[in-house]
Amino acid sequence: DAGVTQSPTHLIKTRGQQVTLRCSPKSGHDTVSWYQQALGQGPQFIFQYYEEEERQRGNFPDRFSGHQFPNYSSELNVNALLLGDSALYLCASHLTVASKAFFGQGTRLTVV
Amino acid sequence: AQSVSQHNHHVILSEAASLELGCNYSYGGTVNLFWYVQYPGQHLQLLLKYFSGDPLVKGIKGFEAEFIKSKFSFNLRKPSVQWSDTAEYFCAVKFSSNTGKLIFGQGTTLQVKP
């Protein structure tokens, strides 16, 4: 058990729709990072949240946005879905901003 | 640009064979290095990590990795693989000490034949 929980596990959306993915970090962790893992590729960093603010961002368009709540849980929102957004979305939590990442099992998003 | 490359995309071995997976990164400064494993249907798990000190790092399940700074490499090794090692392996690098951002390689799929 990784301790990082993500929901839902699978999701199918239509092109143009919006989606929200959720992540609860490991107990005691206050920092959350999100990654996109396309089929056959390594995970790519989307952004990191700490103290309810986006602290660092990868090379993703503004359609990708996030939020962190006071209880440290986090959401990833993607607007105007494209077929290319189909991927496994991974959440990782950290004890502190720069410490080791613990990954959840991911949400498999399919855009049709 | 910061990048990580894994040379082997798909490796097939018989049980008891030795394993070496290559990983190179692009940056010459201080880095933190990681190998993660993803078993089918499971989450990414940390195999081992290198921050500083002895460049030969031992991890879980009999895996080890060697950091060679002059070659910007962090290759993963196991002397004798088992069928249960069948999984996807990712090398990852943290290029800055004040961030949790990881740059991953594209992964290597290891298939071990019983």
Chain B touched by A2 (CB under 8 Å) = yes
Residues of A in contact with B42 (CB under 8 A): 105
pLDDT at A31: 93
Chain B touched by A103 (CB under 8 Å) = yes
Residue-averaged pLDDT of chain B = 93
Position A38 confidence tier, pLDDT thresholds 50, 70, 90: very high
**Beta-strand relationship, B108-113 and B10-14:** parallel
Sheet architecture: strand order including A74-78: A5-7, A19-24, A74-78, A64-68
What is the count of residue pairs from A and B with beta carbons less than 8 Å apart? Answer: 61
pLDDT at A57: 94
pLDDT digits (tens, 9 = 90+) for A47-72: 999 999 999 999 999 999 999 999 99
Q: Which of B36, B43, B101 sits opposite A56 (nearest CB)?
A: B101
What number of residues does chain B have? 114
pLDDT at A83 over 60: yes
pLDDT at B28: 64
pLDDT at A2: 53
Instruction: Give the residue from chain B lying closest to A100, CA to CA.
Output: B100
In Å, how far is B51's CA from the nearest CA of chain A? Answer: 11
pLDDT digits (tens, 9 = 90+) for B84-110: 999 999 999 998 777 788 999 999 999
* A51-55, A78-82, A86-90, B77-81: the lowest-pLDDT one: A51-55
Instruction: Give the residue from chain A lying closest to B32, CA to CA.
Output: A100
pLDDT digits (tens, 9 = 90+) for B16-36: 999 999 999 997 678 999 999
pLDDT at A95: 86
In Å, how far is A40's CA from the nearest CA of chain B? Answer: 7
Residues of A in contact with B99 (CB under 8 A): 48, 55-56, 97-98
Cα distances (Å, whole numbers) of residue A27 to A24, A93, A98, B64 = 9, 9, 17, 29
Residue B13, classified by CB atoms within 10 Å of its CB into exposed (0-12), middle (13-18) or buried (19+), is: middle
